[in-house]
Chains A and B, each alone.
Chain A
Amino acid sequence: MINILIIEDDANIAKMIKAALAMVDYNSFCCNDGRSGAAEALKGGYDIVLLDIMLPEMDGWQVMEKIKDSGIPVIFLTALQDVADKVKGLRLGAEDYIVKPFEPLELLARIDVVLRREHKTSSLLSYCDIEIDIDKHTITSHGEPVYLTPKEFDVIVYFVQHLDIAVSRESLLSNIWGFEFGGESRTVDIHVQQVRRKLGLKDKLITIPKLGYRLESCDSQ
């Protein structure tokens, strides 16, 4: 189980982050000022700290200074958009820097990247009869290997990691093809169709009008 510490003074934002994390079954704990947040982080037991910068009592930079020796990966969440602030944050040892306002899925994606880098997530995923080994880049359905292109592989991994969540084409594009990819949502549709066909997920990987796709959990029907 992944434990995440949220240090954020705005109660509503903290609530929103908590709800987003709960969606992918991450545990979270909130602190609403810098001092108690730093103390809580140093207690240990957290896999990631989400840290706001403008905090009462002690600002995010100071909290970062205090907890960076503990080795907990930190992602800054802030309204400051200055490149200089970004550089400062990363130089202090933060893993990432997310500018408010952000979409919950973006936050989850950034958290995933950090967790994978830290090897906190298992490289083995399973969904119904499908077994995925992310490290070996292999996928089997009913024990039979299925051959997917690298992007198709990324697509199915993303859906399995975000079970029961409606994923927009834009999210898929930015998370799998990268933010800079200038492709169209048509590319996404083609890949999703290929994945559906190759893995026989016609009823599970459903299209949601005006939004995108959702992979329904196995036992939901």
Chain B
Amino acid sequence: MKLWQKIFLSSLLLIIAVVNIVSIMLLGNSHRLLIEREQSHAVNEHEYFTTAFINTVTYEKLAKNSLTLKVSEIGKAAESTVNSVSRTVNSAIYYSTYASAALKMPNNLNKQIHEELLDNIDLSCNEYTILTLESENKHFMTVGSAAQLDGELYYIVTATDITEIFNLRKRQSDFVREISIISSAVISLILLVITITLLKPLNRLNIYTKAIAGGQYNIRILKKGSREFCELADNMNIMADAVQSHALHLEKIAESRQTFIANLAHEMKTPLTSILGFGDLLRIKKKVTDSERIEYAAVIVEETKRLRSLSEKLMELVVLGGTEIEKKPVDLPKLIGDAETALTPLLTKRNISLITDTEKITIEADEELFKSLLYNIIENAVKASPDNSEIILKAKRNKDKAVISVADHGIGMTKEETERVFEPFYMADKSRSRKAGGAGLGLALCAEIAKLHNSVLKIDSSLGKGTTVYIEMHEVKSK
């Protein structure tokens, strides 16, 4: 069962039940009050009748001038009382033998009085016995009492017609039933409209949620309806934001992996093409001159070396990705001196001078990795520089950080190239860097090493003027 149906049905049932119970109670109460009023009325009538009867008997005694009356004379008195007084009420006087002394009662009622009332009349003459009796679709309120007259016991009964009260109750309850049916219909209609309108935002939320779940992460839910729905919509929007950003993140990762693999395949296929081609030529040609053989084999060796360097760099990259580095205090001037020594052959070959300007700083780093980072960056600077130029390496203290910068006066890069330079396999100048034996992985490696040291590489470059690379490292305070 749907929520709106539940809400609708339960409130409808509750309303109908409450209305009916209240009206039944009200009706019952007013009926009871009416009956009570009738009772006192009936008792009054009864008292009046009894008094009249006693008076008649007394009067007869005075008229006859005797102290006692015979039973038959009392019967006559009763007869006359019944006939004269009880025009408005039905009345009867019985002997103790239940025989009627005087009777003015409908037959059926008389029978019922015999059966139900007379036995219960209080013989001590102190109280009235009141009983409501039904006879031939009519309701009577009967009041009975006993009187001792001249040694004989008489029962005096009066009955008032109260059918009207019962009819009234019936009419009222019929009316209430009709009203409750009509009002139920009206209320259910109103409730239906209210429930559906109130729950409409839920429906909309549902549709939006389905759309988001179906992969349309850019959808945001409109805030409309009551506050709870607005809050829910807000929270769902926050959720959708999170999902979207995660999805985007994953997409980006997948995309960069895809690019990485595509680039890797390309980088492997290029040397393989030359190797396979020249190898096959050496195999299928009938005559290969000495110079041709040397030329072909030289290419094969060169391209094989390129593949080897590619696989080495790749391995480094993979291994770096999963390593925890061991940081130790490293003396920066000494480390730079080491790198300088290692690079001397490369520098002298191109007649490039490395000018170092280092303050005495101790940094926290993994010595081997950091050396390789520095080596790679200087090597890149050498590759970009023309012969007979200079590269400036500075290490300066900036607040609590050490800033190492490597500047060259080489070819430089455009802004677009600078942005992409950390991508694996990206080469700003492909043919040049291939000739220099690069695989396009050096800076990606450097960036990875910097990341392990909680640092980032910054590159400042302008085309034709040169490039400066900055590395920021935490300094170790000497005690």
Q: Which residues of A contact B (CB under 8 A)?
A: 9-13, 15-17, 19-20, 23, 32-33, 54, 56, 79-81, 100-105, 164-168, 211, 214, 216
Contact = CB atoms under 8 A, between A and B. Distances in A.
Nearest to B284: A166
Given A12-B299, A56-B431, A166 B286 contact: yes
Nearest to B431: A9
Interface of B: 262, 265-266, 269-278, 280-281, 283-287, 292, 295-296, 299, 302-303, 429-431, 434-435
Contacts, number: 89
Kindly name the residue among A54, A101, A166 whose own CB sees the greatest number of chain B CB atoms within 10 A. Answer: A101
A164 B281 contact: no
A101 B285 CA distance: 19
Contacts of B303: 12
B284 A167 contact: yes
Contacts of A20: 277, 281
Contacts of B285: 23, 164-166
Nearest to A212: B284
Contacts of B269: 79, 100-101
B281 A19 contact: yes
Contacts of A9: 430-431
Contacts of B430: 9, 56
Contacts of B299: 12, 15-16
Given A12-B303, A15-B299, 13 more contacts: A9-B430, A9-B431, A12-B274, A13-B274, A15-B295, A23-B281, A32-B431, A79-B266, A100-B269, A101-B272, A104-B280, A166-B284, A211-B284
A102 B276 contact: yes
A102 B273 contact: yes
B281 A104 contact: yes
A81 to B, nearest CB: 7
B434 to A, nearest CB: 7
Contacts of A56: 429-431
A10 B283 contact: no
B277 A166 contact: no
A101 to B, nearest CB: 4
B274 to A, nearest CB: 4
A168 B262 CA distance: 31
Given A19-B281, A105-B280, A165-B284, A10 B266 contact: no
